[in-house]
């Protein structure tokens, strides 16, 4: 069993309060959970209005499988958030 972790560092330019940021992240998390079998959590920068670190995790039999599962999640996050700056990297445990 292997664990794949996709870490997203996100800049939300139009968020002018923590409430704006939370609404935007909730929408992202709900859409990704709906389309992919992944667990998602905000990991860092909870007190900053325009920045977020999000972790997305999936479990699978091998790293190759996990990469084929997590790359579409990254692509979908970038598609959902065209005005945001999204930087992502995948790690395996």
Query: Which residue ranges make up each domain of the chain?
Result: 2-92
Q: Taking 90 as the threshold, does the pLDDT of residue 55 lie above it?
A: yes
Over residues 58-81, the mean pLDDT reads: 89
- Assign 61 to helix, strand or coil: coil
User: For residue 13, what pLDDT is reported?
Assistant: 85
Q: Indicate the average pLDDT of the chain.
A: 88
N residues, the chain: 93
Superfamily grouping for domain 2-92: TT1725-like (3.30.70.1120)
On whether the CB atoms of residues 56 and 40 are closer than 8 A, the answer is: yes
- Tens-digit pLDDT profile for residues 18-53: 898 888 889 889 999 989 989 999 998 878 888 889
């Amino acid at each position: 069993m292997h664990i794949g972790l996709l870490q997203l560092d996100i800049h939300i330019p139009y968020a002018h309060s923590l409430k704006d940021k939370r609404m935007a992240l909730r929408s992202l998390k709900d859409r990704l959970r709906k389309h992919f079998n992944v667990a998602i959590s905000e990991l860092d920068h909870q007190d900053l209005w325009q920045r977020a670190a999000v972790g997305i995790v999936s479990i699978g039999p091998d790293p190759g499988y996990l990469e084929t599962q997590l790359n579409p999640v990254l692509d979908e996050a970038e598609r959902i958030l065209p005005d945001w700056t999204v930087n992502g990297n995948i790690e395996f445990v």
